[in-house]
């Protein structure tokens, strides 16, 4: 899988967005974000939600008073319409109900699994769960090439401004079971960067915190990376 930078956008086989499509999660904000994602020049666009994306979480009751300036929050029926709009824009939305996808990229089979969950904390609380809840239990030990999460794994690119490690230990355990080629996440903006885990058999897993919004509201550049995949004869299907 390959990516290069040409003009304003890279040429890449797959683009991924690991959540916080919007600031407040309003219906109007999500509609705008989905249209923008749909306009991007990538064949495969993979998206998961984040804790700010309130309008994609039917169970979230958090509402920001500041959002009144930006729009209204989606009803459950409107959430279904937002998700349908992603499909119309050829965006693959990975959710707790449909967390995986299998793609065929240049004769290589790429298997991706993604979840939006973060350990419960103060602030916008879409897709947040108690730290004791293992939201990664369903992935088991099945092989995936790429894991996507909104929150980092505990102890890796997860330090907040106070220096506390606030990533998810259950996500770290899933990585240790699966040993994927790449893991991509965000959420902790000040911990943006990359890391590598090396396993006993000599293989490695690359970790990328791709958060782009800096504390001064400026944006960091896109994160680009290449991975080597084995050729696979089976045609790709959405899981």
Which CATH number goes with the domain that contains 38?
A: 3.60.21.10
Q: Over the chain, what HEC string results?
A: CCEEEECCEEEECEEEECCCCCCCCCHHHHHHHHHHHHHCCCCEEEECCCCCCHHHCCCCCCCCHHHHHCCCCCCHHHHHHHHHHHHHCCEEECCCCCCEEEEEECCEEEEEEEECCEECCCCCCCCEECCCCCCCHHHCCCCCCEEEECCCECCCCCECCCCCECCEHHHHHHHHHHCCCEEEECCCHHHCEEEEEECCCCCEEEEEECCCECCCCCECCCCCCCCCCCECCCCCCCC
Host domain of residue 140? 10-209
Q: For residue 230, tell me if it sits in a domain.
A: no
> What averages of pLDDT result for each successive group of 10 residues across the chain (239 residues)?
53 93 94 96 96 95 82 94 98 98 91 96 86 95 95 97 94 97 95 96 96 79 85 43
- Kindly state whether residue 214 falls inside one of the protein's structural domains: no
Would residue 167 count as lying in a domain? yes
Residue 226 lies in a domain: no
Note whether residue 100 is domain-resident.
Answer: yes
State the pTM of this model: 0.91
User: Is residue 114 domain-resident?
Assistant: yes
Q: Count up the domains in the chain and report the number.
A: 1
pLDDT in tens, 200-221: 999 999 999 999 877 676 788 8
Per-residue pLDDT tens digits for 11-46 = 889 999 999 999 999 999 999 999 999 999 999 999
Q: Does a structural domain hold residue 239?
A: no
């Amino acid at each position: 899988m390959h990516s290069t930078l040409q003009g304003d956008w890279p040429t890449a086989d797959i683009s991924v967005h690991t959540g916080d499509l919007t600031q407040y999660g309003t219906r109007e904000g999500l509609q705008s974000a989905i249209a923008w994602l749909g306009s991007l020049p990538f064949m495969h666009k993979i998206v998961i939600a984040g804790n700010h994306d309130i309008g994609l979480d039917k169970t979230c009751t958090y509402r920001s008073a500041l959002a009144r300036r930006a729009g209204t929050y989606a009803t459950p029926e409107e959430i279904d319409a937002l998700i349908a709009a992603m499909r119309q824009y050829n965006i693959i939305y990975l959710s707790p109900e449909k967390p995986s996808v299998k793609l065929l990229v240049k004769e290589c089979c790429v298997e991706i699994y993604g979840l939006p969950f973060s350990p419960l904390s103060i602030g916008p609380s879409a897709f947040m769960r108690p730290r004791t809840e293992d939201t990664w239990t369903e992935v088991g030990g099945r092989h995936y090439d790429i894991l996507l999460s909104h929150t980092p794994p505990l102890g890796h690119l997860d330090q907040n401004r106070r220096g506390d490690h606030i990533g998810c230990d259950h996500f770290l355990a899933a990585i240790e079971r699966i040993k994927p080629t790449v893991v991509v996440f965000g959420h902790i903006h000040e911990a943006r960067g990359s890391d590598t885990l090396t396993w006993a058999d000599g293989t490695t897993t690359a970790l990328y915190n791709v958060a782009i919004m800096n504390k001064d509201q400026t944006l960091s550049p896109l994160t680009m990376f290449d991975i080597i995949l084995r050729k696979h004869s089976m045609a790709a299907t959405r899981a």
